[in-house]
Amino acid sequence: KHTGQGFREEIIPLRRPETAQALAKFAPAAAKVPLLRHGDRVIWDSLAIIEYLHEIFPRARIWPEDPAARAVARSVSAEMHSSFQAMRGAMSMNLCERRPTPEMTPALSGDLARVQAIWTDCRRRFGAGGAFLFGKFSGADAMYAPVATRLETYGVAFAGEAEAYTHTLLDMPAMREWRAAALA
């Protein structure tokens, strides 16, 4: 949505017997979400989708313009992409329910502390131009939006700058639409 380009969204309910077959209809080799089809191209990895959109819609400015900020944005996005296994395991993404706060194991506490540190650092160093990690909405915000939903689902609150950023993400119109589609 950030690119401003029109697109058609296909909503596939997850965790159901028919999920794999429905996913295979769109990308037999990938069968994963998120998935972007653009013409005959199929991209099924969130970070690859962001990079692809950055390349074909440069006016959308998916990454920060400043090279130093852009490098950090890509770094924290890659870290989100490849890390935080304890958080992913203990706090699965679920837009439709509220669940009990999981036991704060050292690994989970460490993951949450690292996310909070990333958000606080990015906001303080690069966020002066707006409410997002790098001021304006970027690919890094797209990568961390699911974390905000996890915090809400499991009743985990951050402090200060990171808590305000959580609300910024959850209050975005696109996030509210995403939640409404999940509830429907």
pLDDT number for residue 86: 98
Alpha carbon distances (Å) from 73 to 91, 125, 128, 132, 139:
24, 11, 15, 11, 8
Average pLDDT over residues 91-104: 94
Alpha carbon distances (Å) from 7 to 3, 38, 150, 177:
10, 9, 27, 15
Residues 46 and 82: beta-carbon distance below 8 Å: no
Among 79, 180, 116, 48, residue whose Cα is nearest residue 170: 180
Residues 73 and 134: beta-carbon distance below 8 Å: yes
Whether the per-residue pLDDT at 62 is higher than 90: the answer is yes
Q: What is the CA radius of gyration of the chain?
A: 17
Helices (H), the chain: 19-26, 46-56, 67-82, 85-90, 106-126, 139-153, 160-170, 173-183
Q: 37 pairs with which residues across the strands?
A: 42
Please state the pTM of the whole predicted model. 0.92
Share of the chain above pLDDT 70, in %: 97
14 versus 176: which is more confidently predicted?
Answer: 176
Average pLDDT over residues 160-179: 95
Cβ density class 36-74: b for 16+ within 10 Å, e for less: beeeeeebbebbebbbbbbeeeeebbbbbeeeebbebbb
pLDDT number for residue 30: 67
Share of the chain above pLDDT 90, in %: 75
pLDDT number for residue 118: 98
d(CA 31, CA 84): 23
Whether the per-residue pLDDT at 68 is higher than 70: the answer is yes
Average pLDDT over residues 160-173: 96
d(CA 169, CA 167): 5
Tens digit of pLDDT for each residue in 3-60?
Answer: 999 998 888 888 889 888 888 887 766 677 888 989 989 898 999 999 999 999 999 9
